[in-house]
Amino acid sequence: MTQEYARSAPVPAMPAPPAVNVFLKLLPITLAVFIGFLTIGMQLPVLPLHLHDTLGMGTLVVGLVIGSQFAAALLSRSWAGNFADLRGPKRAVGLGLLVAAGSGVVYLASLAFVAAPVTSVWLLLLGRVLLALGESLIATGALGWAIGLVGPGNAGKVMVWIGIAMFGAYALGAPVGVMVNARWGFSGIAAATICIPWLALAAISGVRAVAPTATRRTPFYTVLGAVWGPGLGLALSSVGFGLITAFIALLFAARDWGDSSLAFTAFGAAFIVARIFFGHLPDRIGGARVALVSVAIEALGQCLIWGADTASGAYLGAALTGFGYSLAFPGFGVEAVRRAPPRTRSLAMGAYVAFLDIALGVTSPLAGVLAGVWGIASVYLAGAVAAALALIVALRLMTTPPSGAGRDQNRNGAQ
């Protein structure tokens, strides 16, 4: 009876750490995520062109290969989340970095079969699957680890800084990838994918681990049900991001606008600016309210890309998309944390991010079909429609408070 009471009794709330302490505690993990995701960012403008120009694949195959990473990440979220909860999130991040490095080895192997494009594409698919597993472990583990260090009351700040690391890596990685590809070709991208994750391992080597939060495996569907509303908002708001990663390089090539890497940089720079200046808002005024405004800005950005007749218009559209999507992720994410049981912290974050995987895994191949029929620019009109639907989800969340364990967790974290 005593043990049962101890399990059910509320845990006394701990005061939230000062903002500077939150930043310093998150810094090594943020740096590791940035370095790890740099390998993904370097591939964004290069891999679609490698598939299209070097291997002669059409837009549907490009969409399938790019989307395969997100589909594989979706399938691995449950395992990655339970691994982090049961074995510890620091161990999950370390394993993810090693697996990501292994994907580079497969990329190198694919270059031996350029004369047999189908075989090369299959190897690239395998590399994307490995990269997806690594990304799933890194992102899920980092979010659970960081929240464990600074407390659920700072969940919004965690998502802000981890998101800055992820999308800052996309912004910097894109032009770096173009430069590496120009000098060493796709083999340089593969070599960088092998080497860079080791730097991230060094960054987290001295960071204190947090204890596992679970003693037994939790069914994924139980947590998925708690976060499905915010997750749906994340999925719809992520469509625009997926369209930029998969098709902006092909749009620039089709319009003879030159180097597309600046579009990734515009997206990433606006993303970071929004997080730095407005990243405190989801914790302060509520995630759903922030998400509502954010997805409206994102929809405008997608419309600008759709209607752009110059590269400058596309750059502006990418920047607005990045600015809006920047706070949609933590906005909906704070709502997910409020609704999830605290003992399944990493799994809940994995379930939430799984909706991102669903969106990106489905978006790329469907947009590939749409681009083949109506032209590449048409996919961004579809992105605007998806962002408008995310606005409806945000309105719904504003009128639906969390219940049960999620409500109790939110109350304790706010005290």
The average confidence (pLDDT) of the chain is 82
Residue 55, SS3 per DSSP: coil
Quick one: pLDDT at residue 18?
52
88 and 178 in contact (C-beta within 8 Å)? no
DSSP-H helix ranges across 44-88:
47-49, 59-87
Residue 173 to residues 41, 57, 189, 196, 245, Cα–Cα distance (Å):
4, 24, 11, 12, 12
pLDDT digits (tens, 9 = 90+) for 354-363: 787 778 767 7
State the average pLDDT over residues 380-405: 86
Q: Is the pLDDT of residue 3 over 50?
A: no
**103 or 414: which leads in pLDDT:** 103
pLDDT digits (tens, 9 = 90+) for 363-392: 777 888 888 888 888 899 999 999 999 999
pLDDT digits (tens, 9 = 90+) for 310-333: 999 999 999 999 999 989 988 998
CB atoms within 10 A of CB 256: 7
Q: Which of 119-123, 171-175, 256-260, 334-338 has the highest mean pLDDT?
A: 119-123
State the average pLDDT over residues 256-263: 83
Q: Is the pLDDT of residue 25 over 60?
A: yes
Question: What confidence tier does 162 reach under pLDDT thresholds 50, 70, 90?
Answer: confident
pLDDT digits (tens, 9 = 90+) for 220-245: 667 777 788 899 999 999 999 888 87
Quick one: pLDDT at residue 19?
52
C-alpha 140 chain-centroid distance? 10
Domain boundaries 18-208+219-414, corresponding CATH code: 1.20.1250.20
pTM: 0.67
Quick one: pLDDT at residue 271?
84
CA–CA separation, 170 vs 34, rounded Å?
9
Question: What confidence tier does 301 reach under pLDDT thresholds 50, 70, 90?
Answer: very high
Domain spans, the chain? 18-208+219-414
In the chain, the percentage of residues whose pLDDT exceeds 90 is 29
Q: 19-43 and 155-184 helices cross at what angle (nearest 10)?
A: 30
**157 or 278: which leads in pLDDT:** 278
**153 or 87: which leads in pLDDT:** 87
**297 or 206: which leads in pLDDT:** 297
Question: What confidence tier does 154 reach under pLDDT thresholds 50, 70, 90?
Answer: confident
